[in-house]
Structure 1
């Protein structure tokens, strides 16, 4: 994050995402973000004249885009493989941070203070979630599920994994993520088996 190859503005956005991941929205201040990014406080307001709402919105957008690209790549291999890869990614992230870090996008969604200026921040959250649902839904449709059910299952997968991440943080281990992942795998297997059965002569 402090690599000199990354421009100062990008460092600030990355620092904001990292603080959201570990401290949540309310505890993420512009001053602390500047300190973490090793940038002058004045430069923060130069790059983000909209202040904290603009900085947080861009951090959410960046995090959302990173996850969306990962989901697009992994779910291209199929729903089951995509789910396993997504869970493995989160398990590693949680273990690396001793279960003290979560999703920066959901950190904003879960914080009441986002409503103080909900237009930019919550809009960024909504856009990120839509971007995550798309590759999941597309993968399920490609596997043969009807579009409506694929969309519902995509929402369920995201909600279940994000909820499991919160439980992992509360419990200090990744057990909840592993348990939720196994039930989601069984759900997907059953749904896809039903599709295969319908296709049999």
Structure 2
């Protein structure tokens, strides 16, 4: 069951993502540390289902964030895309996601192979983040748009959730301000990342 504590922690995790967006826009080499911080908080949040389960679920995002963060620390810029690099990014994304789905199927959720579940909102957003991180690891600016789409989609989802629970019992209505804060944080983060993408394209 979702409690107010978890909603507050989730809000803090989303604040980390806004920090990531701002630093990414400034081409700060430590930007990806904020994504990692957000994921660590989410490991704790999802840990109510078991820490091992939480780590397995977030494993693809943690892996790609660490790798991309390391690459970004060495050199925080983008390169002009070529067919070879695009193909490598796509193939790498497919391999990582296939491995993740396989591990999830075996250890967490045997129903993940259901088309409607795998490509439902949560799992789809999860996979888009992984793809975006991999594209950025290959220094492809287009990867930023994956983050922007996911952040703005989640912002809309938080706003919808806040409106839906407006007539719920008081203990549930206590979530509303934090849902709205998360919605605003992620919407701003999404817009900033679009600006970062525009700057990156201009400088390539």
Task: Tell me the TM-score normalized by structure 2.
Answer: 0.32
Say which structure, 1 or 2, has more relative contact order (CA 8 Å, 6+ apart). Answer: 2
Task: Tell me the TM-score normalized by structure 1.
Answer: 0.33
